[in-house]
A and B are shown apart, each in its own frame.
Chain A
Amino acid sequence: MLLSTVAHAGSVLDGVRQRGQVRCGVSTGVVGFSAPETANRWKGLDVDICRAVAAAVLGDPEKVSYTPLNAQQRFAALQSGQIDLLSRNTSWTLTRDASLGFHFVAVTYFDGQGFLVPKKLKVSSARQLKGAQVCVQAGTTNEKNLADYARRYQLNLKPVVFESFEAAFKAFFAGRCQAYTTDASGLASVRNKDAPNPDDYLILPETISKEPLGPMVKRGDDEWLAAVRWSIFALLEAEELGLTQANIEARKTDTDPAIQRFVGGGEDMGKLLGLDKQWALRIVKATGNYGEIFERHVGQGSPLKLPRGLNRLWTQGGLMYPPPIR
């Protein structure tokens, strides 16, 4: 204890420990990212981030309480301290990063905005949408990107802005708009799950924006920020090291120093974060590595069947590059 440099926990992390629960803000239901399964059981990529953090900090991935938030409520909920962590497909932008009193933690999904159109419209490119009415959800970066795109190519697009995610695509499928726009991942989810007949609809090839999605925390507790950030990096590092939910127990004895550090056999990495030695081991046991989470919720093991694309590890040509755990 004498030489220990245990990070002094800030108010959020202290609160999480006292409560024995991570309060996580999620969406009101986006399949693949965060969607309710039963009363207090949620499922999805964003949800697994919450579970990974709970596993690291509290030792149990189930110690999470979920608060469904719409696009308008999400920031106020985090500002007011109603939630500890906002893990709700939120795009990292300068305005949000610099003006809301939050820190973006890391990118958990690289997305981009696209368009969904009915095939009978006989449109193959977003540039052909001149004068079209476009259904969009209120309070998203999508609204601004749509305006930018319309101006850049002089398309005179008319937004029809809906309060909820559901109302926007319902109106689109009812024929109110010629196109529907949201992040590409959302388009796939809506097309596969909500379209009367998915084959009647086409996702246009253009990606009109960068949408780096990731969780946010409130400023003022750097220890909490670090714990959440490194929980996410641990998910990526595990994939890079080839550690999975199934094999991590067996590979605990692997002599590779990187694996030893990861599972808590070597140097104590957890101490610097104010956590114990096995924080990362517990994360992988709880949720699997990032690749497993991806495939389970949005990839080939899910109804969305989204390609890994930009979300592959850097070693496989993607953008996911965790800083080293050492």
Chain B
Amino acid sequence: MPVVLVMISLDFLAQPAGFDLGETGGWLFDASQPLWQAMLIGLSNTLRVSMPALLLALLLGTVVGMGRLSTEPVPRRLAGLYVNSLRNVPLLVQLLLWYFLLIECLPAPNEALHLLPGVWLSKGGLAFPWWAPEAGGWSLPAQEAFNVQGGAAVTPEYLAVAVSLSTYSAAFVAEVVRAAVASVPVAMVEAAQTLGATQAQVRWRVVLPQAWRAAMPPLSNQVLNLIKNSSLAVAVGYPDLVSVGNTALNQSGKVLECMGLMMMTYLMLSGLASLVMNLLGRHSRTVASQ
């Protein structure tokens, strides 16, 4: 009886992709370019959304985490509410909520909201000024008949993914920050105060370096989580690595190959992120021991 064997081969990656990508993040791409380039753009889209989200999550998380530690009841309660409401709802639900909020509630692209000078928000996305050397300076977006033209723009898909990823991860980062600061023994602070250190010195020279060291390992986890969670982008049509990989998988029928490629790519991304976090952690240890 003939047995159909699915042979593993990556030759198909050199074939023309045959599909277009809605967002390429500045790269030029059309359907006649090979599949591997489409996959690379998927990877670039993953990075393009997770890196800013990571930065935002760390900033917002630190602020909320400090809020949790505040002696003032109002910021403490607000921060507590933030953490508990965001980390207890699945990310996919939040992502879809953000996405449908954006595309249901925003005005059409031909009547965009003018948020700030040069910043427009509509169902077509968020347009903002961008440095355009070929135009000899900043390119400012402006409202035209059908939509907003000029500057740079990100789509509602991008916005939904970036916002939900960063706000969700920030809740976890906040807890990491809170735990790390709380882990510094009170005796350390008291000792510093006895030695006559000022409030600022206590915070910057005593508490934060030690808290930083305690925060690094759990923070690495959050960074890895955020990068991996960006794969949920597929639910709202953002062409990230998984979305492009899925399309490639379907068009070529190479299930194992495409899944394998996606897995390897995430593995490498996570490995790289861990490496960076470890380096930062080592740096903090040497700083703290000085």
Contacts and interface: CB of A to CB of B under 8 A. Distances in A.
A90 to B, nearest CB: 11
Contacts of B252: 95, 99
A218 B4 contact: yes
A138 B243 contact: yes
Given A144-B251, A161-B237, A167-B235, A174 B19 contact: no
**Number of chain A interface residues as a range:** 35 or more
A171 interface: yes
Contact of B235 (A100, A140, A157, A163): A163
A163 B243 contact: yes
Interface stretch (B100-108, B176-184, B219-227, B260-268): B100-108
10 contacts: A76-B255, A101-B4, A101-B6, A138-B243, A151-B30, A159-B22, A174-B100, A174-B103, A174-B104, A219-B4
A43 B151 CA distance: 50
A64 B145 CA distance: 55
B1 A11 contact: yes
Interface in A121-178: 133, 135, 138-140, 143-144, 146-148, 150-151, 157-164, 167-168, 170-171, 174-176
B247 A162 contact: no
Interface of A: 10-11, 71-72, 75-76, 79, 95-96, 99-101, 133, 135, 138-140, 143-144, 146-148, 150-151, 157-164, 167-168, 170-171, 174-176, 218-220
B68 to A, nearest CB: 36
**Which of B3, B4, B19 lies at the interface centre, i.e. has the most chain A CB atoms within 10 A of its CB?**
B19
Contact of B22 (A10, A75, A133): A133
B-side interface mostly: loop
A162 B236 CA distance: 6
Nearest to B31: A147
Contacts, number: 108
A151 B251 CA distance: 18
A283 B161 CA distance: 50
B18 A147 contact: yes
A95 B123 contact: no
A147 B31 CA distance: 6
A158 B124 CA distance: 12
A157 B32 CA distance: 15
Nearest to A174: B103
B100 to A, nearest CB: 7
B249 A158 contact: no
A167 B140 CA distance: 33
Contacts of B246: 72, 138-139, 163
Contacts of A157: 20
Contacts of B249: 72, 139
Contacts of A148: 18, 31
A140 B250 contact: yes
Interface string B156-187: 11000000000000000000000000000000
